[in-house]
Amino acid sequence: MKFTIVREEFLKGLLNTSKIILGKNSDPILNNVRLDLFEDRLEIVATNGEMSIKSIILKYKDDKTLIRDLVPGSILINARMITEIIRKLDSDEVNFVIEDSSTAKIQTLKSTFNLNVIKASEYRELDFDENGEKITLSRNEFTNCISQTSFSASNKDNRPVLQCVNIESDTKNISFTATDGARLGRRIVELPLENRFSINVPAKSVNEVVKSLNNEKEIEIFINEKKVLFKLEDSIITSTIVAGDYPNTKNIIPHNYFYRLEVNSNEFLKTLDRIVIFSIDRENIVKLTMNEDEVNVSSRSQQVGDAKESLQLFKYSGDRLQISFNVDYVSNAIRALKSDDVVLSFLGEMKPFTITRKADDKVIQLITPVRTY
């Protein structure tokens, strides 16, 4: 096995794959990437048990030769080491040769690194087969489906399904939903499909897919009972599916409201960010006091004092209402909506409330308030 490769492309592939195994791996063999060199491409493969990535570097791309002088083969190599070496070399091209089965010689004109390697057969068998239900989403739609929901998944080790984004098809629409029990994010995409399904994909996995996006126009997703596979431009990512029923969230989301507040996202976010300074006794909780003439954000701390600010830009309809909430939940929800103006709809002081874009309701954010003191 040997090849000469454009350093920058090799580095990109190594960074893209090795990022999922940089933490602690229970099995030390997973600290390696597998390099599979074929006549027409180099594949770099990594897995952390939960998700797997394959980066593909083609021999020729856009009339440029990225890999030359190649003799096919496969090898396992320490991900951190090979990435560090390729990152720090200051040469346009790098030579890679397996001289005996236990050492890779990585060379430029100035530098020689002899790095211990392991036989490829020691690695786990991975399934990158594209089979099952196929969904195609535009890059923009896919990114929104993930980034507008996944932050609401739980990051605590409680129920594994709550750490997931649920992807569900009712044959007419696909919905992406995440909830940690105190808040929920959902985006619905109109997309006719033959089969119903509902799968739970770890939020970590789908977030990695978004981070791996390059110049894709579309993302192809293949779903079967064992795994979900995301096909990107230069890489393929698979993730396990978490077994278990996702909570029935449909009846949680209210469809009507008694109080409606429209705010300018930017002003509201800045106000929350200031007033939350004084929320020391109750972590990150502020109070919203609304009537048709005035909307105030306030907080009070025994220890520090009190703070109050009036919104300049708002429309409110409904009776006077006081409601308290976690600023992080509301701020993250509003930022995810990516809308200049957002609408908060309330049913009552202690009822979950929704935040939606003023223009459409494709995506809905639901927040549980806390008791006002």
Interacting residues toward a copy of itself by CB under 8 A? 78, 81, 84-85, 88-90, 103, 110-116, 270-271, 273-275, 277-278, 303-310, 312
| 351, HSE (Cβ side, Cα atoms, 13 Å) | 16
Closest distance to a copy of itself from the beta carbon of 263 (Å): 14
3-class state of residue 36 by DSSP: strand
Q: Are strands 321-326 and 173-179 parallel, antiparallel or unpaired?
A: unpaired
Token reading at 316: 């409110």
Closest distance to a copy of itself from the beta carbon of 175 (Å): 37
CB 76 within 8 A of CB 123: yes
Based on CB atoms, which residue is closest to a copy of itself, 40 or 99?
99
**Alpha-carbon distance 157 to 117, whole Å?**
35
Q: Given the structure tokens 């230069």, which residue do they identify?
A: 234
Based on CB atoms, which residue is closest to a copy of itself, 277 or 359?
277
* 63 alpha carbon, distance to own chain's centre: 33
Burial class of residue 127 in the structure, from the number of CB atoms within 10 Å of its CB (0-12 exposed, 13-18 middle, 19+ buried): exposed
CB 277 within 8 A of CB 309: no
Based on CB atoms, which residue is closest to a copy of itself, 29 or 252?
29
Based on CB atoms, which residue is closest to a copy of itself, 112 or 155?
112
Based on CB atoms, which residue is closest to a copy of itself, 88 or 315?
88
Closest distance to a copy of itself from the beta carbon of 267 (Å): 9
Closest distance to a copy of itself from the beta carbon of 15 (Å): 16
Closest distance to a copy of itself from the beta carbon of 106 (Å): 9
Closest distance to a copy of itself from the beta carbon of 290 (Å): 16
**Alpha-carbon distance 219 to 233, whole Å?**
8
Based on CB atoms, which residue is closest to a copy of itself, 112 or 173?
112
